[in-house]
């Protein structure tokens, strides 16, 4: 049985306030072409379908279009929710969709009935477990567990797995030993689960971690995001995973299987450029003056500060995500749309004080400078500038 493993689409995501919808539309089209070429028996989507619990309309329409095309192609799709998804929204109409081969499990309610598919080697049981917390397990099973491994072990125990058949799990959790990147947002605040808990399954299609990786062995795998969503993912090769489940020698052994990855090529890559301002500005450009349309994190090496470098660099790097300054042992972010929302909640004096500390190796302003700063803020905002 051939399976395609996807996860963490994060449809509707913004990177440094720049919408990724066009990139996601492009990469989902590429994935769809790959699925049609592979002709799998099922497509597994292991959570974080959306980036927010209340996704924008465009994100909902993009997912609907993708799933509709899979349905038209007659494919079975198994989908669970992740910590970024709204379980209630994602499960809307789920029962009706099963008639067309789309199985959605977004709310953990204790029902662990598997979806059963068959091939020439017999049945394959697919267990769909959406993102869960210890409190969910304690509520459903009336327990008082405090350890995530114990909680998930109980869930697996309740499945009543038949070891004589092949068993596949879709899970959106953090497994101990996984390597994650900045874009996981502290991995949803969940503690790790021991890899040993997943041992009964012939394959576990994991979601939650953005870096593609195996945990211990290829049967326990994060396929990763289809696109790069942070500077920490620069250098990762994005892909989707293709699994083929073969025969099972005995109840005591897991089935034979093959696994491979298919690389994904984004419409625009994400890169980091470290150079002086003049070097970046003088880089060879195409006829339209654009050096690259890739998403760029620019790191300036100049010893002197440049006045508003982002507006100049954007002429040659239209998809500039941020500009930071590196030199004399200091690094400071000069431009990053991500920081705008954070600063809205701070008074001007706080913002200036933080900036000063960044520029002076963490040292606070002396009294004379603070007096000058307060006077300047009062002249612009009045006394309320210290409390905004």
Give DSSP secondary structure letters for 249-300: --TTSPPPEEEEEEE---SS-EEEEEE-HHHHHTS---TTS-S--SEEEEEE
Instruction: Kindly state whether residues 218 and 274 are assigned to the same domain.
Output: no
26 Cβ neighbours under 8 A, 6+ residues apart? 266, 267
246 vs 307, residue with greater confidence: 246
The first and second tokens of residue 83, run together, are 């910590």
Instruction: Kindly state whether residues 157 and 245 are assigned to the same domain.
Output: yes
Query: What residue numbers bound the domain in which 183 lies?
Result: 2-263
Tell me what pLDDT residue 339 has.
52
Q: What angle do CA 106, 141, 104 make, to 5 degrees?
A: 15
Alpha-carbon span 336 to 217, nearest angstrom: 39
| Of the candidate ranges 88-92, 284-288, 328-332, 378-382, the one whose mean pLDDT is the lowest | 328-332
Q: What is the pLDDT of residues 51-71, one digit of tens each?
A: 999 999 999 999 999 999 999
What are φ and ψ of residue 199, in 5° steps?
-60, -30
- C-alpha closest to that of 84 among 221, 193, 267, 229: 229
| Span 303-315, average pLDDT | 92
Tell me what pLDDT residue 186 has.
45
Instruction: Kindly state whether residues 191 and 302 are assigned to the same domain.
Output: no
Q: What is the pLDDT of residues 133-176, one digit of tens each?
A: 999 999 999 999 999 999 999 999 999 999 999 999 999 999 99
| Of the candidate ranges 76-90, 157-171, 265-279, the one whose mean pLDDT is the lowest | 76-90
361 falls in which pLDDT band (50, 70, 90)? Answer: very low
> What is the torsional sign of CA 347, 349, 351, 357?
negative
Q: What is the mean pLDDT of the chain?
A: 88
Res. 371: pLDDT tops 60? yes
pLDDT over 70, % of the chain = 86
| Of the candidate ranges 93-107, 250-264, 347-361, the one whose mean pLDDT is the lowest | 347-361
- Please, which residues bridge with residue 243 across strands? 3, 259
What is the total count of domains within the chain?
2
Instruction: Kindly state whether residues 57 and 157 are assigned to the same domain.
Output: yes
Instruction: Kindly state whether residues 194 and 326 are assigned to the same domain.
Output: no
Write down the residue that tokens 């072990």 correspond to.
153
Instruction: Kindly state whether residues 139 and 283 are assigned to the same domain.
Output: no
| Of the candidate ranges 125-129, 320-324, 355-359, the one whose mean pLDDT is the lowest | 355-359
Q: Which of 263, 296, 321 is the last residue of a domain?
A: 263
């Amino acid at each position: 049985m051939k399976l395609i493993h996807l996860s963490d689409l994060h449809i509707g995501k913004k990177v440094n306030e720049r919408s990724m919808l066009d990139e996601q539309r492009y990469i989902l089209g590429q994935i769809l072409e790959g699925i049609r070429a592979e002709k799998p028996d099922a497509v597994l989507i292991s959570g974080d379908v959306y980036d927010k619990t209340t996704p924008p309309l465009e994100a909902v329409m993009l997912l609907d279009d993708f799933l509709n095309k899979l349905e038209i192609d007659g494919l079975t799709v198994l989908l669970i929710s992740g910590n970024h998804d709204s379980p209630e929204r994602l499960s809307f109409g789920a029962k009706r969709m099963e008639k067309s081969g789309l199985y959605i499990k977004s709310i953990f309610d204790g029902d662990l009935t598997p979806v059963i598919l068959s091939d020439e080697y017999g049945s394959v049981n697919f267990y769909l477990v959406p993102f869960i917390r210890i409190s969910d397990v304690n509520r459903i099973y009336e327990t008082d567990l405090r350890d995530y491994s114990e909680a998930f072990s109980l869930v697996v125990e309740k499945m009543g797995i038949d070891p004589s058949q092949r068993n596949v799990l879709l899970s959106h959790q953090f497994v101990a030993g996984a390597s994650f990147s900045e874009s996981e947002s502290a991995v949803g605040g969940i503690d790790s689960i021991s890899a040993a808990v997943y041992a009964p399954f012939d394959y576990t299609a994991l979601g939650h971690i953005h870096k593609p990786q195996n945990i211990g062995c290829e049967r326990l795998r994060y396929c990763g995001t289809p696109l790069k969503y942070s500077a920490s993912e620069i250098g990762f090769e994005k892909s989707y995973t293709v699994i083929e489940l073969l025969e099972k020698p005995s109840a005591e052994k897991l089935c034979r299987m093959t696994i491979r990855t298919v690389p994904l090529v984004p419409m625009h890559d994400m890169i980091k450029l470290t150079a002086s301002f003049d070097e970046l500005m003088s880089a060879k450009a195409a006829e339209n003056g654009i050096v690259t349309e890739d998403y760029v994190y620019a790191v300036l090496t100049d010893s002197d500060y440049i006045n508003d470098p982002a507006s100049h660099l954007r002429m040659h790097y239209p998809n500039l995500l941020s500009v930071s300054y590196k030199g004399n042992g200091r690094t400071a972010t000069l431009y990053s749309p991500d920081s705008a929302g954070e600063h809205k909640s701070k008074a001007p004096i706080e913002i200036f004080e933080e900036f000063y500390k960044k520029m002076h190796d963490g040292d606070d302003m002396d009294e004379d400078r603070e007096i000058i700063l307060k006077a300047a803020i009062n002249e612009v905002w009045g006394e309320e500038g210290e409390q905004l």
